[in-house]
Amino acid sequence: MEEKKIRQLIDAARAGREMAYAPYSGFAVGAAVLGCDGKVYTGCNIENASYGLTVCAERTAMFKMVSEGCTKFAALCVIAGETPADSTPCGSCRQVMSEFAEDVRTVPVILAGRNGEYEVHTVLELYPAPFMKFELEQ
């Protein structure tokens, strides 16, 4: 993925992070998903007093994409703390990423830190043994 496109996704994720509702943890997270339709969908984490009902930024962005008619994404960016390591998606988000990634072997996931650094991984690198829908086919 070219540097310019990576920076655009980081900027979009940063804008998503500004919308975070994180009154309990104080840890705001933003995400941007590049849908295979060419549109960028942003998301933020949304906390709830019943902690289990909290939704991560990555899933917010992916579900927004799906709710608007696009079911595959070509890239995803997450931004949270100072370093890329602060932006690692949780297991639930990794499973959802594997459901909607165009190709888990090649779709880039950009982990960005607010310090400007970023790392690029594939969905499969982050989640090497996803539960895939073809496993449900009998």
3-state class of 124 per DSSP? helix
| CB count in 10 Å sphere of residue 116 | 9
CATH number of this structure's domain 3-136 = 3.40.140.10
User: Partners of 79 in the beta sheet?
Assistant: 30, 112
Per-residue pLDDT of the chain (138 residues), as tens digits, is: 899 999 999 999 999 999 999 999 999 999 999 999 999 999 999 999 999 999 999 999 999 999 999 999 999 999 999 999 999 999 999 999 999 999 999 999 999 999 999 999 999 999 999 887 777 776
Tokens of 114: 């607010």
3-state class of 67 per DSSP? helix
pTM score, whole prediction: 0.94
Catalytic positions: 58
Per-domain residue ranges for the chain?
3-136
